[in-house]
Amino acid sequence: MWLFGYGSLIWKVDFPIRRRVVGYIKGYVRRFYQGSPEHRGAPLKPGRVVTLLPSSNCEDVVWGVAYEIRKEDVAGVVDSLDVREKSGYEKKTVTFYPTDDSIEDKTPFDLTVYIADPKNEWYREEPDMKTIAAEIAECRGMSGPNAEYLFKLADAVRQMTPQACDPHLFELEAEVKRIVEAKQKP
Of 5-13, 69-77, 127-135, 155-163: span binding ligand BEZ (CB under 6 A): 5-13
Task: Answer yes or no whether residue 149 interacts with ligand BEZ by CB under 6 A.
Answer: no
| Paired residues of 119 in beta bridges | none
Contact 42, 181 (CB under 8 A): no
Task: Answer yes or no whether residue 7 interacts with ligand BEZ by CB under 6 A.
Answer: yes
Of 72, 85, 104, 173, which is the active-site residue? 85
Helix (H) or strand (E) holding 19: strand 19-26
Angle, to 10 degrees, between the axis of helix 129-138 and the axis of helix 146-160? 110
Q: Hey, how many other C-beta atoms are within 10 angstroms of the C-beta on 96?
A: 23
- Which lies closer to ligand BEZ via its Cβ, residue 33 or residue 145? 33
Q: Beta 109-116 vs 89-98: how paired, if at all?
A: antiparallel
Of 2-10, 16-24, 139-147, 171-179: span binding ligand BEZ (CB under 6 A): 2-10
Could you say which residues in the range 44-83 bind ligand BEZ, by CB under 6 A?
A: 81
Q: Beta 28-36 vs 89-98: how paired, if at all?
A: unpaired
Task: Answer yes or no whether residue 166 interacts with ligand BEZ by CB under 6 A.
Answer: no
Which residue in 8, 36, 143, 146 binds ligand BEZ (CB under 6 A)?
8
Whole-angstrom Cα distance, residue 111 to residue 3?
Answer: 6
Which residue in 31, 47, 66, 85 binds ligand BEZ (CB under 6 A)?
85
- Which lies closer to ligand BEZ via its Cβ, residue 114 or residue 139? 114
Helix (H) or strand (E) holding 29: strand 28-36
Could you say which residues in the range 86-125 bind ligand BEZ, by CB under 6 A?
A: 89, 114
68 is catalytic: no
Whole-angstrom Cα distance, residue 160 to residue 85?
Answer: 23
Of 6-14, 18-26, 139-147, 165-173: span binding ligand BEZ (CB under 6 A): 6-14
Decide: helix, strand or coil at residue 110: strand
For the annotated catalytic residues, the residue numbers are 85
**Residues binding ligand BEZ (CB under 6 A):** 5-9, 81, 85, 89, 114
